[in-house]
A and B are shown apart, each in its own frame.
Chain A
Amino acid sequence: MTGPVKQADYKIGAVTALLGISADTLRYYEQIGLLPPVHRSASGIRLYQPKDISRLRFIQRAKTMNFSLNEISRLLTMREDPQHARLEVRQLTQTKLTEIESCLRDLNTLKNELTLLVSLCHTSEDGCPILDDIQSG
């Protein structure tokens, strides 16, 4: 695919700066099919479009949940066309959703614990129980 440079297109350096993903990784994602073939300028420069950025952000979020690239690839097919996703992909999506919900519960508990500790720090004149708690393990 080739075409004129549009304002919404991002060169690889801009994507790297925007998302913190290295150029090698971006090319690798394209090579293994996590990203569809990226639009190119007449001179062959990769031009990432907003839908590519959106897809990359999804990949990044999924990676923070420790999903494998293979799992991410299958989740992306669901993302592209949820109505026609295979049963196996729908099941994987449901499993991953359950994992995320469990993770959110853990994160919320951690958030509440830190909120309580910070609130104690604010009322303390002599010290901070956050440090005491961490030190006592």
Chain B
Amino acid sequence: MKLLLELFTANICSRCAAAKSVMSGVAEELGSDQCELSFIDVVKNLDYSVERGVLRTPALVVNGKLMFSPLPGRELILQAIERELEP
């Protein structure tokens, strides 16, 4: 099952640039056959962000479900995503 990873960010959010970098690394490590990463600007997509339960940035949504907000370190993110990939 390929996971849809959505990182919700905002231009003015001080921690979002680092979160983008971490998530890009995580997606690269998992490979494009395992996951697809997209970045969502919350200010431009307020309705969608709130629908997904995002109340602050950065936030990670996996397959439509809010997983982290704010994001923990890279290892914890990887572990959580790998659990989602388990059959």
Chain B positions within 8 Å of A, measured between CB atoms, are 10, 12-15, 42-43, 46-47, 49-50, 53-57
With beta carbons under 8 angstroms apart, the residue of B43, B54, B57 that contacts A133 is B43
Q: Across the interface, name the chain A residue whose C-beta is closest to B56.
A: A119
Q: Across the interface, name the chain B residue whose C-beta is closest to A112.
A: B50
Do A123 and B14 form a contact, CB below 8 Å, given A116-B54, A116-B56? Answer: yes
Task: Determine chain A's interface SS by DSSP, over half rule.
Answer: helix
Task: Determine the chain B residues whose CB is within 8 A of the CB of A119 once the complex forms.
Answer: 55-57
Do A123 and B13 form a contact, CB below 8 Å, given A115-B55, A116-B54? Answer: yes
Task: Determine the chain A residues whose CB is within 8 A of the CB of B12 once the complex forms.
Answer: 120, 123-127, 129
Task: Determine chain B's interface SS by DSSP, over half rule.
Answer: loop
Task: Determine the chain B residues whose CB is within 8 A of the CB of A109 once the complex forms.
Answer: 50
Q: Across the interface, name the chain A residue whose C-beta is closest to B46.
A: A113
- State A113–B53 Cα separation when bound (angstroms): 9
Contact A120 B43 (CB under 8 A): yes
A132 within 8 A of B: yes
- State A81–B49 Cα separation when bound (angstroms): 45
Contact B55 A133 (CB under 8 A): no
Do A129 and B57 form a contact, CB below 8 Å, given A120-B12, A123-B14? Answer: no
- State A79–B42 Cα separation when bound (angstroms): 44
Task: Determine the chain A residues whose CB is within 8 A of the CB of B47 once the complex forms.
Answer: 113
